[in-house]
Amino acid sequence: MRIVHVLHSHGYGGAESHALLMMKLQREAGHDVCYAGPMDSWLGRECEKAGIACEHIPMHGLFDPWSHWRLRSLLKRVRADIVHGHLIRGAMYAGRAGHRHRAPVAICTAHATTARTHMQRCAHIIAVSGAVRDGLLAAGYAQRDVSLVYNGVPEGPPPPSPEQRAALRAELGIPFDTFAVAHVGRFVRDKGQDLLVRAMRSVPAGVHLYLIGDPATEFGSQVQALLAAEPALASRVHCLGFRPDVQRLLPAFDGFALASRREALSIAIIEAFAARVPVVATRVGGVPEIVRHEDTGLLVPPEDTQALAQGITRLNQDADLRAHLVTNGERLYTAELTARSMVEHTLALYQHCLGSSASHTTP
């Protein structure tokens, strides 16, 4: 198949990493893949590094005539079978440039529980969680036009030896006797790093929190100000910045915490499952679909710093619980949340839509 992925973004997050991984693995599976979107972006640069064909389409707003024309020209030039839009703007452009009943068939992925608009022109919508799917159905989309395909992540490195793990912790500056809790996410309010910092006031002194993500945002400045106001707390909360090698780093940690106020389906949680790190997370969006309380992880209410602190403390104090959560989290990852599973389900959906388009055009 000839597949063009369309995404407008200048930052980095779950949708961008999802699209990049999808393109890489579809190419490995033998398909012709192209990225269409702004090249002055994290995703554009990463596609260039990976040797993925790229087309600069800036998409200034939802109705940029030049960008619409350029995308249609690209699809015609490469004789695309599928145009796959991501996020609202990508879905709008894919839907207007592609078709419902003939190639290039327009597909889009809804990456957020708030996704509702500008997907009507697409032949089919992929929801990354049941919560996202339910929101689309409630907004009036037909059930036959929406499919659930969970996010997936690649297998991480093999479990490190004790010596390798000690070296990894030393690399990150984690003292040998510290219970180290990781959090991975963009510094935006929805991710709730401020809640994690406040929860740290009520956890044992030997627990340290390590925030992975670029704090150079307005919300990141607020989190930094919160830490600056409490030096004792700041000594146990560490900002590691943006890291492209999260899966390599996760085995260094003893626990993973997610405090999101809104979440479609956390890729970082899936990475923690794959890395055999026990999880505590807030009960929001699609998170309960994979974090099953006291089975694959611990669930706590959103906006409840005391419950979050209690969950982290339970992980710290109960080795048997940690082992139980790790075993079941890894089992769920292997069964349902691998990158291979995600790509296979997506390619099968493409084939189904192409088959449906052929049936509409056959005399």
Show the tokens assigned to 73: 């020209």
Q: What is the pLDDT of residue 363?
A: 42
The one-character DSSP state at 299 is E
Helices (H) and strands (E) in the chain, counts: 15, 13
For residue 54, the one-letter residue type is: C
d(C-alpha 162, C-alpha 154), whole Å: 23
Convert the pLDDT of each residue in 265-291 to its tens digit: 999 999 999 999 999 999 999 999 999
Q: What is the pLDDT of residue 232?
A: 87
Q: What is the pLDDT of residue 359?
A: 55
Three-class secondary structure of residue 335 per DSSP: helix
- Check if the beta carbon of residue 122 is closer than 8 Å to that of residue 147: no
Q: How far is CA 44 from CA 80, 141, 319, 343, in A?
A: 20, 31, 43, 21
**Cα Rg, the chain, nearest whole Å:** 21
d(C-alpha 245, C-alpha 161), whole Å: 19
Three-class secondary structure of residue 31 per DSSP: coil
Measured CA angle at 266 (ends 135, 281), to 5 deg: 100
Cα within 13 Å of Cα(183), Cβ side: 30
- Check if the beta carbon of residue 88 is closer than 8 Å to that of residue 117: yes
- Helix, strand, coil percent content, the chain, rounded in steps of 5: 50, 20, 35
Q: What is the pLDDT of residue 362?
A: 44
Q: What is the pLDDT of residue 276?
A: 97
d(C-alpha 179, C-alpha 174), whole Å: 9
Q: How far apart are the first and last CA of the chain?
A: 23
Output the DSSP codes for 198-242. HHGGGS-TTEEEEEES---SHHHHHHHHHHHT-HHHHTTEEEEE-
Do the bridges between strand 207-212 and strand 53-56 make them parallel or antiparallel, or are there none, so unpaired? Answer: unpaired
Q: What is the pLDDT of residue 44?
A: 97
d(C-alpha 68, C-alpha 77), whole Å: 14
Q: What is the pLDDT of residue 358?
A: 58
- Check if the beta carbon of residue 37 is closer than 8 Å to that of residue 57: yes
For residue 34, the one-letter residue type is: C
Show the tokens assigned to 144: 């036959």
Please tell me whether the peptide bond between 104 and the residue prior to it is cis, using omega within 30 degrees of 0. yes
pTM: 0.94
Residue 189: Cβ within 10 Å count = 16
Beta strands in the chain (DSSP E): 2-7, 32-37, 53-56, 82-86, 105-110, 124-127, 146-148, 179-184, 207-212, 237-241, 255-258, 279-282, 298-300
d(C-alpha 242, C-alpha 215), whole Å: 8
Q: Which domains does the chain have, with CATH numbers?
A: 2-152+338-361 (3.40.50.2000), 162-336 (3.40.50.2000)
Picking from 270, 300, 295, 296, the residue whose alpha carbon sits closest to that of residue 284 is 300
For residue 351, the one-letter residue type is: Q
Per-residue tens of pLDDT for the chain, all 363 residues: 999 999 999 989 899 999 999 999 999 999 999 999 999 999 999 999 999 999 999 999 999 999 999 999 999 999 999 999 999 999 999 999 999 989 999 999 999 999 999 999 999 999 999 999 999 999 999 999 999 999 999 998 899 999 999 999 999 999 989 999 999 999 999 999 999 999 999 999 999 999 999 999 999 999 999 999 999 899 999 999 999 999 999 999 999 999 999 999 999 999 999 999 999 999 999 999 999 999 999 999 999 999 999 999 999 999 999 999 999 999 999 999 999 999 999 999 999 999 976 555 544
Convert the pLDDT of each residue in 147-186 to its tens digit: 999 999 999 889 999 999 999 999 999 998 999 999 999 9
